[in-house]
């Protein structure tokens, strides 16, 4: 994992991920024979070559296939596709071939919802097209989705978070360039939620665990750091890179997932935590993650739809001005047609 520039003599790596999530459905409502997991492994490998990464490890259960990649992770469930990649990968270039594969092998003919998000890059000039800027990413996404909407939350001159999603306002069906029609219905009906914590300026005593100098295996790093205790009842698939860096996926029997990715170098340390485990309150989970990694600052986002038990998260976070030494600087709330989104930024105040 390497980028083509150096920072303070150290090979720079962009830990910030680009996160693409797509939900599919069948226009006639008969989804019984449709499944994204019907797409052959070699087709996924070909798709990931376009993205500039490859599969390192794989676990699955009855609900989800989870892939650890050379640059982060991919999750494939029956109708949900998640691709999360760091470095100078190009995930949006996979959209057209993805839609063709879904139509050919999975049986779906409509995109139900799309989410593309990321924190601002530390070194955007090292990214490859179409990821030089959020405006460029939006321009490409708009060629697929007529009713896409782009947002920026946070302070655009410091730490911020970008989101592109569907904001359907038309009553006619629109066509994607690959020929798959786009859905205009009420969207997702099953409970759904996602917690993401994007951490920077990490404690180097913690980050040392994720180097080959301090941990000989991924399992050792997982146990030493306490990652194995963050979410109980998860089957963990982890990988420790040479000479440093760490990725893990965790999946539970009910299909929920957890994923963590760590760039430990002190010049550009970064850790991301993401999970869709349903909780009526995320305060304890967030506190455990912060205690584990000790970031200097972090961006927090929570998505929850109307039927999720996490639907009360905006009110909870509005009342949470701090997590121990981490003080909240800003909080923003967005209500979309099917989802509510809460964004917050915290940093550690001096002890």
Q: Which residue has the tokens 């530390």?
A: 122
Reported residue count of the chain is: 351
CB < 8 Å & 24+ apart, contacts of 231-239: 231/258, 231/275, 231/277, 231/285, 234/258, 235/59, 235/61, 237/57, 237/58, 237/59, 237/66, 237/68, 238/68, 239/56, 239/57, 239/68
Which position among 34, 86, 94, 244 bears the catalytic label?
86
Q: How buried is residue 296: exposed, middle or buried, by Cβ count under 10 Å (0-12/13-18/19+)?
A: middle
Q: Which residue has the tokens 């090979």?
A: 11
Which position among 244, 261, 265, 272 bears the catalytic label?
261
Whether 247 is catalytic: yes
Which position among 247, 269, 272, 308 bears the catalytic label?
247
Whether 351 is catalytic: no
Which of 52, 56, 55 lies closest to 3, judged by CA?
52
CB 159 within 8 A of CB 199: no
Look up residue 58 and give its two tokens: 């794989």
End-to-end CA distance of the chain: 35
Whether 86 is catalytic: yes
Which position among 21, 34, 70, 72 bears the catalytic label?
72
Kind and range of the H or E element at 221? helix 218-225
Whether 72 is catalytic: yes
Q: What are phi and psi of 212, to 5 degrees?
A: -70, -20
CA distance 11 to 3: 7
Which of 125, 136, 113 lies closest to 188, judged by CA?
113
- What are the residue numbers of the active site? 14, 17, 72, 86, 247, 261
């Amino acid at each position: 994992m390497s980028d083509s520039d150096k920072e303070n003599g150290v090979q720079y790596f962009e830990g910030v991920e680009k996160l693409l999530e797509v939900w599919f459905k069948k226009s006639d409502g008969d989804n019984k024979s449709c499944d994204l997991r019907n797409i052959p492994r070699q087709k996924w490998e070909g798709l990931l070559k376009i993205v500039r990464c490859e599969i390192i490890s794989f676990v699955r259960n009855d609900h989800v296939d989870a892939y650890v990649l050379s640059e982060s992770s991919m999750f494939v469930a029956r109708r949900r596709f998640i691709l999360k990649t760091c470095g100078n990968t190009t995930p949006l270039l996979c959209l057209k071939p993805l839609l063709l594969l879904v139509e050919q092998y999975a049986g779906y003919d409509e995109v139900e919802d799309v989410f593309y998000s990321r924190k601002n890059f530390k070194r955007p000039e090292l990214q490859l097209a179409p990821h030089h800027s959020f405006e460029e990413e939006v321009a490409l996404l708009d060629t697929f989705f007529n009713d896409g909407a782009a947002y920026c939350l946070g302070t655009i001159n410091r730490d911020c978070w970008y989101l592109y999603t569907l904001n359907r306002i038309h009553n006619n069906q629109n066509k994607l360039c690959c020929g798959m029609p786009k859905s205009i219905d009420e969207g997702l009906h099953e409970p759904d939620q996602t917690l993401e914590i994007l951490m920077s300026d990490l404690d180097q005593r913690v980050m040392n665990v994720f180097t080959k100098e301090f941990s000989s295996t991924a399992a050792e790093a997982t146990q030493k750091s306490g990652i194995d205790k963050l979410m109980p009842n998860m089957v963990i698939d982890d990988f420790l890179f040479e000479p440093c860096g760490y990725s893990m996926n965790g999946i539970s029997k009910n299909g929920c997932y957890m994923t963590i990715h760590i760039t430990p170098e002190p010049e550009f340390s970064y850790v991301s935590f993401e999970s869709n485990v349903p909780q009526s309150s995320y305060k304890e989970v967030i506190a455990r993650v912060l205690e584990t990694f000790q970031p200097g600052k972090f961006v927090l986002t929570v998505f929850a739809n109307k039927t999720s038990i996490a639907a009360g998260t905006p009110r909870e976070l509005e009342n949470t001005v701090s997590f121990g030494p981490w003080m909240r600087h800003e909080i923003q709330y967005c209500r979309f047609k099917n989802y509510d989104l809460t964004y917050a930024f915290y940093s550690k105040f001096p002890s």
